[in-house]
């Protein structure tokens, strides 16, 4: 007997409410953000073939589905509260459900983000999560706050997920050891939630890098009405990526996608506060450029020479 919809929900996706006023099982869940807090919410969908490969292990897929949503809360400086899960799958495969829910709920627990409801239906594999967080009223980090003369920073390293994707596509060859490392970056991104919270009151703007640095940077610049001088050689990259040809390094760091690092700005006078915030949460941050009043992206190399932007950004309806 295949597992029915309600048994499936009860077995894999039912969690007792902790902070939520009412968890799953009713028509709505009830959330109670603390007084003085604003509710932050975001929604991200993962479609097989588009956002993940069929080769990904179900527990890693569960992790990533929530990680990409938590990354949006991180970019706003919001603390996670809860999430809902809308899941379409071709059949109720218990081995898959066990792995998926285990990976999903492990990351949820790590961030005290409760599963409070969802929707379950038969159909092509598709995972849609809505996440809810809280941030002190008026303190959310926005894309629109960058100002001329701010410094531009990025957390962690860029490009490993793209390097892994290219290896899976067969466009480049990696050793088994290198592939295992970059595959972790692609399949198990770590959302920078603690960094986002630590940057409240320090960063002037922020966005998470999901579609490639240049594309996401362009969104931040447009919303802020400013431009940037970006040092392409200052972009932080792993030892694995640094061992690749320069063209591959640039493609992966500038246009990679799936990085889930925070890109943010802060006034030069807050440089120490940025370092302190990053050190407090144990995440590396690198200064990668400077905000300028004239709109546009100006790419320079380590010698100050200009670098042509041949990468463009990712657009789901153009690629
Ligand atoms: P409704 O008919 O009111 O939309 P459903 O029958 O779809 O409710 O779901 C029953 C309960 O199970 C609801 O509380 C819903 O939030 C929860 N639920 C459904 N699917 C999931 C899921 N994938 N994960 C967590 N909770 C779920
Ligand atoms: Mg209902």
Q: What is the pLDDT of residue 225?
A: 98
Helix (H) or strand (E) holding 308: none
CA of 10 to the centre of ligand 1 (A): 10
Q: What is the pLDDT of residue 3?
A: 87
Nearest C-alpha neighbor of 199 from the set 268, 120, 276: 276
In whole angstroms, what is the distance from residue 88 CA to residue 81 CA?
Answer: 24
Q: What is the pLDDT of residue 319?
A: 53
Instruction: Return the bridge partners of 127, or none.
Output: 46, 87
CA of 27 to the centre of ligand 2 (A): 4
Q: What is the pLDDT of residue 310?
A: 87
Nearest C-alpha neighbor of 232 from the set 219, 247, 220: 247
Test site for ligand 1: of 7, 8, 9, most ligand atoms within 8 A of the Cβ: 9
Radius of gyration of the chain (CA): 20
Task: Give average pLDDT by consecutive 10-residue segment, the chain, 319 residues.
Answer: 89 95 96 96 94 92 98 98 97 96 98 98 96 98 98 98 96 96 96 98 98 96 98 97 96 96 98 98 98 97 92 61
In whole angstroms, what is the distance from residue 104 CA to residue 88 CA?
Answer: 15
Test site for ligand 1: of 25, 120, 122, 131, most ligand atoms within 8 A of the Cβ: 120
Nearest residue (by CA) to ligand 1, atom 10, is: 25
224 φ/ψ angles, rounded to the nearest 5 degrees: -95, -15
CA of 255 to the centre of ligand 2 (A): 42
In whole angstroms, what is the distance from residue 290 CA to residue 68 CA?
Answer: 27
CA of 88 to the centre of ligand 1 (A): 12
Q: What is the pLDDT of residue 54?
A: 86
* Pocket of ligand 1, beta carbon within 6 A: 9, 13, 24-27, 85, 87, 115, 117-120
Ligand nearest to the CA of 118: 1
Q: What is the pLDDT of residue 313?
A: 55
DSSP 77: T
In whole angstroms, what is the distance from residue 137 CA to residue 104 CA?
Answer: 29
Q: What is the pLDDT of residue 50?
A: 87
In whole angstroms, what is the distance from residue 306 CA to residue 299 CA?
Answer: 6
Nearest residue (by CA) to ligand 1, atom 8, is: 27
Q: Which residues contact 222 (CB under 8 A, 6 or more apart)?
A: 295
Instruction: Return the bridge partners of 300, or none.
Output: 231, 306
Other C-beta atoms closer than 10 Å to the C-beta of 248 total 17
Nearest C-alpha neighbor of 234 from the set 307, 163, 296: 307
Q: What is the pLDDT of residue 316?
A: 58
DSSP 268: G
């Amino acid at each position: 007997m295949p597992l029915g919809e309600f048994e499936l929900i009860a077995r894999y996706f039912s969690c007792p409410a902790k902070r939520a006023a009412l968890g799953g099982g009713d028509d709505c869940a009830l959330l109670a953000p603390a007084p003085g807090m604003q509710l932050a919410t975001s929604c991200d969908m993962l479609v097989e073939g588009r956002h993940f490969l069929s080769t990904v292990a179900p527990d890693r897929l569960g992790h990533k589905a929530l990680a990409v949503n938590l990354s949006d809360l991180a970019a706003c400086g919001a603390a996670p509260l809860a999430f809902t899960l809308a899941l379409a799958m071709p059949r109720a495969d218990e081995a898959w459900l066990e792995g998926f829910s285990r990976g999903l709920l492990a990351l949820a627990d790590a961030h005290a983000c409760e599963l409070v409801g969802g929707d379950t239906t038969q159909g092509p594999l598709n995972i849609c999560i809505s996440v809810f967080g809280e941030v002190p009223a008026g303190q959310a980090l926005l894309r629109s706050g960058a100002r001329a003369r701010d410094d531009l920073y990025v957390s962690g390293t860029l490009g490993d997920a793209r390097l892994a994707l290219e290896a899976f596509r067969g466009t480049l060859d990696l050793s088994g050891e290198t592939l295992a490392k970059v595959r972790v970056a692609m399949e198990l991104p770590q959302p920078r939630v603690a960094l986002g919270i630590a940057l409240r009151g320090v960063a002037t703007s922020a966005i998470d890098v999901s579609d490639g640095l240049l594309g996401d940077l362009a969104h931040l610049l447009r919303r802020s009405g400013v431009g940037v001088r970006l040092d392409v050689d200052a972009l932080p990259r792993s030892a694995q990526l640094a061992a690749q040809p320069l063209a591959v390094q640039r493609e992966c760091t500038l246009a990679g996608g799936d990085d889930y690092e925070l890109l943010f700005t802060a006034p030069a006078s807050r440089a120490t506060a940025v370092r302190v915030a990053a050190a407090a949460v144990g995440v590396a941050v690198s200064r990668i450029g400077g905000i300028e009043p004239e709109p546009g992206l100006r790419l320079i190399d380590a010698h100050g020479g200009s670098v042509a932007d041949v990468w463009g950004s990712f657009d789901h309806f153009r690629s």
